[in-house]
Amino acid sequence: MANLNWRNTLAVVGTAVLTLAACGAPSAPAASPAAPTAAATGPAATAAPVANRGKGGELKILYWQAVTELNSHHSQGTKDYDGSRLAIEPLAAMGPNGEPVAILAAEVPTKANNGISADLTTVTWKLKPNVKWSDGSPFTSADVVFTWKYVTDEATAATDSFTFTNVKSVEATDPLTVKVTYNGPTSNPYQAFVSGYGNIIQEKQYKDFIGAKAKDGPKIPVGTGPYKVKEFKPNDVVLYEINENYRDPNKPFFKTVQFKGGGDATGAARAVFQTGEADYSWNLQVEATILKPMIEAADSKGTFISATSGNLERLLIQRTDVRASAGANRGEPSTQHPFLSDLKVRQALAMAVDRTPIAALYGGGLAGEGTCNVVVGIPPATSKNTATMPVCKYDIAAANKLLDEAGAAKGADGIRVYKGTKMDIVYSTTVNPLRQKEQEIVKSGWSQLGVNVILKSVDAGVFFGTDTDDAAGRFFTDVEMFTNGPESPDLSTYLAGWTSAEIRTKAAAWAGNNYERWSNAEFDGLHAQYLKETDAAKKNELAIKMNDLLVSDVVVIPLVARKSPVSGISKSLKGTQPNPWDSEMWNIADWSK
């Protein structure tokens, strides 16, 4: 992709597979702006041998956060995107090195193959011929166009509609050709239909469930992937069997897949390293003092895999009034939080967060490192300015002074009162021992400010669901914590999550990615420039400016730059490739034993 400067100059971080000898001190491979690569080493990154379809038995995958949604366009969490990926696929995956890999497309569009127009306004995708859906019907360009219509219909309330920001039209020029036209020159031709956000759904199956009817649509999608869903129990397990219509006659290797959910991260780690009950255990967000001995044990049955990524564990700070007393306006952007709307209050909270003990929980680099940046893992786009920002310095005395200046006086019980409102903060996250320790560290700092912190731990299936007030998407607490990150080294869609267009409202079924309901005209303008800018250095400058706005205005409080994946695999499992930019299941058709 030499014709697109940003593809050559955006640095892509490396991937590491940690063996028993190396797991105590994983290294972060240097990025090469001139020729970005990410090569994994060790057994987890070897190419899968040619395998006969169904030769293997059952593949056992363990996600301690269970799948709740298989139509990924309504997914609220990574576990749903991963569970979906065995059945439904995008036109291209985002590969481990940050470069797209053709999946349903015959090839990745480039200027060289005339797939990208000289003026960067159109991207033409050629589809693989003779691809069938799992029901035996042909996959065509009409399905791609329908997916665009489905996702962009506001009444559908798709959670990934932002991937079509700046897209003017999607049209089928013939049964195997799709033309995507942007409103103007685009610096990211792979914004639409790539990675987990780009999964294609079948028009025949969903044509009667678009818009407001989407909520009643099929729960098990017909797909083009290597497996089809045999049984789905939300918040519990998904059972898959081979898709006999899969396009590669030699794949997949495993006859069936059990995608089990539930338990906790520590149990998931034990299942792969100690008992061998699982072939693949995901997201081992386990305190390093517990995880490392399992990995390093002489009789360990698994290998730990990780990759430097753009994923960030952070605190989201509420901007709206989410008290029950707000009634029908609860959480609406027309309201204001009674005290978190004050910049000095937010600054004080940020300055009372001690990242050092939080980062230690992640092993000092084993699974993540402390940070005060929102954009991480992409060196040229990572700000150095935050190092001198007061909000990034742990300083209890300065934080207390800010609250005094804001007029938040302490009452007889030691809790501050801001303009008549007691400073009670409800702080929620998922049930996870490591996260509960993070909560305690944050609470300790805020308590020293005279803030009453009420900790709330929510089952992951509920937290990343859609139907309750405890769902992260509704964000009906004052502060919530979870991890997210970009799906490619281009930050178009990731940073779109803080634009005004992505603000969540009840009318939009709480869809959108601006959880905090933050609106900033300067940020919106910078993002609009980013979408059009084709010079890599200027794009990075814009990303840094957006990062600095988010940090300085305390929209979020960054905690840990997390590696992703951070998973365990059986030593007998072959063909996996750690990928920080796409689903961990992105190449499951190549897995074998």
Q: Per residue of the chain (593 residues), what is the pLDDT tens digit? A: 222 222 222 333 333 343 323 233 222 322 323 323 333 333 344 445 445 899 999 999 999 999 999 999 999 889 999 999 999 999 999 999 999 999 999 999 999 999 999 999 999 999 999 999 999 999 999 999 999 999 999 999 999 999 998 999 999 999 999 999 999 999 899 999 999 999 999 999 999 999 999 999 999 999 999 999 999 999 999 999 999 999 999 999 999 999 999 999 999 999 999 999 999 999 999 999 999 999 999 999 999 999 999 999 999 999 999 999 999 999 999 999 999 999 999 999 999 999 999 999 999 889 999 999 999 999 999 999 999 999 999 999 999 999 999 999 999 999 999 999 999 999 999 999 999 999 999 999 999 999 999 999 999 889 988 889 999 999 999 999 999 999 999 999 999 999 999 998 999 888 889 999 999 999 999 999 999 998 999 999 999 999 999 999 999 999 999 999 999 999 999 999 999 999 999 999 999 99
Radius of gyration of the chain (CA): 23
- What pTM did the predictor assign? 0.84
Q: How far apart (Å, rounded) are the C-alpha atoms in residues 361 and 436? A: 11
Q: Report which of 156, 200, 79, 165 is spatially closest to residue 511, judged by C-alpha positions.
A: 156
- Cβ proximity of 232 and 238 under 8 Å: yes
As given in the structure block, the two tokens for residue 15 are 């991937």
Amino acid in position 454? I
Q: Report which of 26, 1, 2, 24 is spatially closest to residue 14, judged by C-alpha positions.
A: 26
Which DSSP state fits 127?
B
Backbone region of residue 98 per phi and psi (left: phi > 0; alpha: psi in -120 to 50; beta: other values): left
Q: Report which of 228, 268, 194, 195 is spatially closest to residue 70, judged by C-alpha positions.
A: 228
> Given this model, what pLDDT does residue 21 score?
30
Which DSSP state fits 194?
B
Q: Report which of 444, 453, 499 is spatially closest to residue 480, judged by C-alpha positions.
A: 453
Helix (H) or strand (E) holding 574: none
> Given this model, what pLDDT does residue 51 score?
52
Name the 3-class secondary structure at 168. strand
Which DSSP state fits 134?
T
- Cβ proximity of 546 and 524 under 8 Å: no
Beta bridge partners of 304: 18, 568
- Cβ proximity of 38 and 15 under 8 Å: yes
Q: How far apart (Å, rounded) are the C-alpha atoms in residues 203 and 208? A: 9
Q: How far apart (Å, rounded) are the C-alpha atoms in residues 394 and 390? A: 8
Q: Any idea which residue has 């994994």 for tokens?
A: 40
b (16+ CB within 10 A) / e for 492-514: bbbbbbbbeebbbbeeebbbbbb
Q: How far apart (Å, rounded) are the C-alpha atoms in residues 126 and 28? A: 36
Residues in the chain: 593
**Side-chain-facing half-sphere of 399: CA atoms under 13 Å:** 24
Task: Look up the CATH number of domain 311-486+551-562.
Answer: 3.10.105.10
The CATH T-level fold of domain 5-222+565-590 is Dipeptide-binding Protein; domain 1 (3.90.76)
Name the 3-class secondary structure at 131. coil
- Cβ proximity of 587 and 93 under 8 Å: yes
Tell me the domain boundaries of the chain.
5-222+565-590, 311-486+551-562
As given in the structure block, the two tokens for residue 92 are 């291209």
Name the 3-class secondary structure at 361. helix
Q: Could you check whether the bond before residue 380 is cis, i.e. omega within 30 degrees of 0?
A: no
> Given this model, what pLDDT does residue 467 score?
80
Helix, strand, coil percentages, rounded to 5, for the chain:
30, 20, 50
> Given this model, what pLDDT does residue 512 score?
86
